């Protein structure tokens, strides 16, 4: 409905925005790939588990160097921050991680962030909306920026006292353990891990032997089979873009084709970090045929080493289940139009199928299907499962505050007219003011590498992770009432949520499944923030 002049303007804006977000992502990737921390003196790695040292030594060897190489890729970065005792080295790696695309070099993204925010605003105005957030949220469950801000504030009110209490406890613990007078960002993961071990006597290294990658894949397939009657068979006759990609034919109880599933699990040079689900062919009904989808999961898990198979941290197990939840949304699609099929739903609904599936990772009944020790075959002991469940809410206040800070930063870029913003870092600091626990780090800026909102599809939508958590906590509470493998509830979920794609308003679909609107208290209870 725009006039010719405005149509031309819109095309120009779209073209420029797509180029800018591509460049933004290329800069982040280049900064991630260009950094390496080479350590030749092993004594500096005190605290780091042998398996992590082995991976770092293998990487150094591949690069023709002596010693241990650490990178900004998550499988390398996270264990380093969690376990390495040397505070100066943690600081060095942490600052490098937070400085991605915020340095005085050709990969700096500050200008790009300002340009993207302003062009998005201009585009929204052109289409008759007050801000980019108003434009985006019209097709979301939340509907308006006011509703999103209200939602974030309501959760903040409940989570902030818990987060501040947890932060005090962590500070006191670091003081008692190492005489630290104040905590910096690079201390957070290290002391949290130590405190978690003290409180729950459980750590990643203890759990990893029970989570061999191949077993976890079988486990998620078995869960899908018990819930939705799906069968997965690995095949070798499908073309892939890399030899590491595995392919599976997915069939139903009658042996009929449901989908083709691709899986790409390990980091390599030039591959984007993180984890995601993607679609190569959408499901649709055309010329009397139900065309089945081609779905892919991409992750970046630690590889097998010379001595051990690929073993996952518990966090990586939940990531695998999460992405597979998205994959099920794509695989079980059953709609007429490709554009409304599978995960083509309102953005604050899209995380429900993925987040709900994570819940099975905490259930003894589900863990018994796949959590076997890779050497002994022993099923994960009950007391370890209890510890996982208890520790699941560890620092939930701080975690919630962190997620809310990202959602708030997103709205600070997209829920206003950004034309007066001159300094990216300063604007970010204002957005974070109400959720801040750690002192600021001058060399760091999150916005310049916040790929979710400047490269991915989460602009004005980052709140949807928390929004979907409310849905998933409420939905899983329903499964728990009836049994986690209850066929009747699973069928209701499949027929009313997973297969429907974006054909109806998500709240209508959800209420059809659940019989009522979701209750936010389910999330706060599960997180231990209210009792």
* Span 422-439, average pLDDT: 98
Tell me if residue 489 falls in helix, strand or coil: helix
| Range name among 50-64, 129-143, 361-375, 379-393 with the lowest pLDDT average | 379-393
* Span 317-344, average pLDDT: 97
Two tokens, residue 440: 């600021």
Tell me if residue 246 falls in helix, strand or coil: strand
- What is the C-alpha to C-alpha distance for residues 404 and 204, in angstroms, rounded to an integer? 26
Q: Active-site residue 214, yes or no?
A: no
* Span 235-239, average pLDDT: 97
What does DSSP assign to residue 179?
Answer: -
pLDDT of residue 203: 82
pLDDT of residue 93: 98
pLDDT of residue 317: 97
Q: Which phi and psi angles does 372 have, rounded to 5°? A: -110, 140
Looking at the chain, the whole-number percentage of residues with pLDDT higher than 70 is 100
Domain residue spans of the chain = 38-83, 208-392
Two tokens, residue 278: 């993607």
Give the count of beta carbons closer than 10 Å to the beta carbon of residue 264: 18
| Separation of CA 212 from chain center | 21
Q: Which phi and psi angles does 313 have, rounded to 5°? A: -75, 165
**pLDDT tens for each residue of 269-320:** 889 888 999 999 999 999 999 999 999 999 999 899 888 999 999 999 999 9
DSSP run (H or E) holding 10 = helix 4-34
Closest CA to 405 of 376, 385, 379, 429: 429
Closest CA to 211 of 469, 389, 384, 399: 384
Closest CA to 499 of 342, 289, 278, 321: 342
Confidence of residue 529 (pLDDT cuts 50, 70, 90): confident
pLDDT of residue 458: 92
Residue 251's beta-bridge partner residues? 231, 257
What DSSP letter does each residue of 85-98 carry, written as one string? --HHHHHHHHHHHH
* Span 72-98, average pLDDT: 97
- What is the C-alpha to C-alpha distance for residues 348 and 359, in angstroms, rounded to an integer? 19
Q: How far is CA 190 from CA 27, 203, 509, in A?
A: 29, 12, 43
Is 90 exceeded by the pLDDT of residue 450? yes
Q: How far is CA 106 from CA 26, 82, 424, in A?
A: 11, 31, 17
Is the pTM higher than 0.85? The answer reads no
Two tokens, residue 343: 């995960």
pLDDT of residue 524: 83
What does DSSP assign to residue 494?
Answer: I
**CATH assignment, 208-392:** 1.10.1370.40
Residue 276's beta-bridge partner residues? 298
**pLDDT tens for each residue of 470-519:** 999 999 999 999 999 999 999 999 999 999 999 999 999 999 999 998 88
Two tokens, residue 217: 């894949």
What does DSSP assign to residue 132?
Answer: H
Give the count of beta carbons closer than 10 Å to the beta carbon of residue 417: 15
User: Average pLDDT of the chain?
Assistant: 96
Q: Cα Rg for the chain, rounded, in angstroms? A: 23
Residue 250's beta-bridge partner residues? 232, 259
The 3 state secondary structure assigned to 372-432 is ECCCCCCECCHHHHHHHHHHHCCCHHHHHHHHHHHHHHHHHHHCCCHHHCCCHHHHHHHHH
| Separation of CA 500 from chain center | 24
Number of H helices, E strands in the chain: 21, 9
Given the residues 166, 323, 351, 396, select the one marked as catalytic: 323
**pLDDT tens for each residue of 399-420:** 999 999 999 999 999 999 999 9
Give the count of beta carbons closer than 10 Å to the beta carbon of residue 299: 24
Is 80 exceeded by the pLDDT of residue 531? no
Q: Which phi and psi angles does 247 have, rounded to 5°? A: -125, 145
């Amino acid at each position: 409905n725009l006039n010719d002049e405005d149509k031309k303007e819109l095309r120009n804006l779209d073209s420029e925005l797509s180029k800018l977000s591509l460049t933004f992502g290329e800069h982040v990737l280049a900064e991630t790939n260009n950094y390496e921390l080479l350590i030749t003196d092993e004594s500096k790695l005190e605290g780091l588990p042998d398996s992590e040292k082995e991976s770092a030594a293998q990487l150094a060897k591949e690069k023709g160097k002596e010693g241990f190489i650490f990178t900004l890729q998550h499988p390398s970065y996270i264990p380093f921050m969690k376990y390495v005792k040397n505070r100066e080295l943690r600081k060095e790696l942490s600052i490098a991680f937070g400085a991605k695309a915020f340095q005085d070099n050709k990969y700096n993204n500050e200008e790009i962030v300002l340009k993207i925010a302003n062009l998005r605003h201009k585009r929204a105005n052109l289409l008759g909306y007050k801000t980019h957030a108003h434009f985006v949220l019209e097709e979301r469950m939340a509907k308006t920026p006011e509703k999103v801000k209200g939602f974030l504030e309501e959760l903040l009110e409940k989570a902030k006292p818990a987060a501040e209490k947890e932060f005090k406890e962590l500070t006191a613990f670091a003081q008692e353990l190492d005489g630290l007078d104040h905590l910096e960002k690079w201390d957070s993961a290290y002391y949290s891990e130590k405190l978690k071990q003290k409180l729950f006597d459980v750590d990643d290294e203890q759990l990893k032997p029970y989570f061999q990658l191949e077993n976890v894949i079988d486990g998620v397939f078995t869960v899908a089979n018990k819930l939705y009657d799906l069968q997965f068979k690995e095949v070798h006759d499908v073309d892939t873009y890399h030899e590491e990609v595995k392919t599976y034919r997915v069939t139903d109880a009658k042996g009929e084709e449901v989908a083709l599933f691709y899986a790409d699990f390990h980091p390599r040079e030039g591959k984007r970090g993180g984890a995601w689900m993607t679609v190569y062919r959408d499901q649709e009904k055309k010329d009397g045929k139900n065309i089945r989808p081609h779905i892919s999961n991409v992750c970046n898990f630690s590889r097998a080493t010379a001595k051990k198979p690929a073993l996952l941290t518990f966090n990586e197990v939940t990531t695998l289940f999460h992405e597979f939840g998205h994959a099920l949304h794509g695989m079980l699609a059953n709609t007429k139009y490709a554009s409304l099929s599978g995960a083509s739903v309102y953005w604050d609904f899209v995380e429900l199928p993925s987040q709900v599936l994570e819940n099975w990772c905490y259930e003894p009944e589900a863990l018994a299907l796949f959590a076997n020790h890779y050497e002994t075959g022993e099923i994960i002991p009950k007391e370890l499962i209890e510890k996982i469940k208890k520790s699941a809410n560890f620092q939930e206040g701080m975690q919630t505050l962190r997620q809310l800070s990202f959602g708030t930063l997103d709205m600070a870029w997209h829920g206003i007219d950004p034309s007066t913003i001159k300094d990216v870092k300063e604007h970010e600091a204002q957005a974070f003011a109400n959720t801040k626990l750690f002192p600021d780090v001058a060399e760091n800026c999150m916005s310049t590498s916040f790929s979710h909102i400047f490269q991915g599809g989460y602009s004005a939508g980052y709140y949807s992770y928390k929004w979907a958590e409310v849905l998933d906590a409420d939905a899983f509470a329903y499964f728990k009432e009836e049994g986690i493998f209850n066929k009747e509830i699973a069928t209701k979920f499949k027929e009313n949520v997973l297969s429907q794609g974006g054909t109806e308003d998500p709240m209508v679909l959800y209420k059809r499944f659940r019989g009522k609107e979701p209750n936010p208290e389910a999330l706060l209870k599960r997180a231990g923030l209210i009792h």
